[in-house]
C-alpha cells in the first residue's frame, strides 16, 4: 500500500486548515509592518532586547543582503509572546518566508527535524532554521554558511 506524504496533503488542504483554525488564532506582538510577509523569529529577554552586534547583523542582512527595509518584515521576539508556537505564528501571520534564529526548543516542540541553515516548506511558508544571532556575530564561517546555504537559497 502506498503512503501519502503528510506535508503534501497538508499543502493541498492548507486553506481548509486555516479556515477551521481561524477562530483560535493567537495574535503575536512584533516589530515592523510585515509588508513582505517575511518573519524573523528570535528569543531575547525583554530586559536586554537585541545586543548592538546582533541588531547590526540583522540590519546588514535585511538592507544589504535582502535589499529590503526593516519595516517590510516582522521581528517576533518569542520572549515577548507567552506560550509561542511556530505553527501558530505561521497561522497567525501567514509568512511567505520565515527565519527562526536559535529557538531550537520551539522547532523541537513542533517535531520538525531541522538542522541549522536548513530550509523546509511548512504549509505555505519557506522556513529557514538558523543558529542564534550571537553565534553569527562571533563566527564568520557560520555567517558565510548561513548566507550561502540558507538565505541565498530563499531568494
Q: Where are the domains of the chain?
A: 6-21+28-154
Mean pLDDT over 30-37 rounds to 94
The pLDDT of residue 26: 84
Q: Which CATH number fits domain 6-21+28-154: 2.40.37.10, 3.40.470.10, 3.40.50.10320, 3.30.750.24?
A: 3.40.470.10
Q: Residue 44: which pLDDT band, with cuts at 50, 70 and 90?
A: confident
Question: How confident is the model over 111-134, as pLDDT tens digits?
Answer: 999 999 999 999 899 999 999 998
- 68, three cell numbers: 529590503
What is the rounded average pLDDT of the residues 54-68? Answer: 90
The pLDDT score that the predictor gives to residue 128 is 96
Whole-number Å distance between alpha carbons of 1 and 104? 35
Instruction: Report the pLDDT averaged over residues 80-96.
Output: 93
Instruction: Give the per-residue pLDDT at 29.
Output: 92
Assign 7 a pLDDT band (cuts: 50, 70, 90). low
- The C-alpha atoms of residue 108 and residue 11 are separated, in whole angstroms, by 21
For residue 25, name the pLDDT band (cuts at 50, 70, 90).
confident
pLDDT at 5: 63
> Which residues touch 57 (CB under 8 Å, ≥6 apart)?
133, 136, 137, 143
> Using one digit for the tens of pLDDT, what is the confidence trace for 65-84?
899 998 899 999 998 898 99
In this prediction, residues 24-51 reach a mean pLDDT of 83
Amino acid at each position: 500500500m502506498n503512503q501519502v506524504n503528510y506535508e503534501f496533503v497538508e499543502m493541498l488542504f492548507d486553506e481548509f486548515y486555516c479556515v477551521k483554525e481561524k477562530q483560535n488564532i493567537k495574535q503575536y506582538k512584533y516589530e515592523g509592518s510585515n509588508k513582505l510577509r517575511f518573519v524573523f523569529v528570535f528569543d531575547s529577554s525583554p530586559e536586554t532586547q537585541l545586543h548592538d552586534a546582533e541588531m547590526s547583523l540583522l540590519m546588514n542582512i535585511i538592507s544589504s543582503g535582502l535589499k529590503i527595509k526593516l519595516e517590510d518584515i516582522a521581528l517576533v521576539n518569542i520572549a515577548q509572546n507567552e506560550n509561542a508556537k511556530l505553527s501558530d505564528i505561521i497561522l497567525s501571520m501567514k509568512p511567505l518566508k520565515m527565519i527562526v534564529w536559535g529557538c531550537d526548543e520551539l522547532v523541537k516542540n513542533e517535531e520538525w527535524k531541522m538542522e541549522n541553515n536548513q530550509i523546509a516548506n511548512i504549509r505555505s511558508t519557506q522556513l529557514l532554521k538558523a543558529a542564534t544571532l550571537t553565534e553569527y556575530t562571533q563566527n564568520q564561517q557560520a555567517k558565510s554558511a548561513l548566507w550561502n546555504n540558507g538565505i541565498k537559497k530563499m531568494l
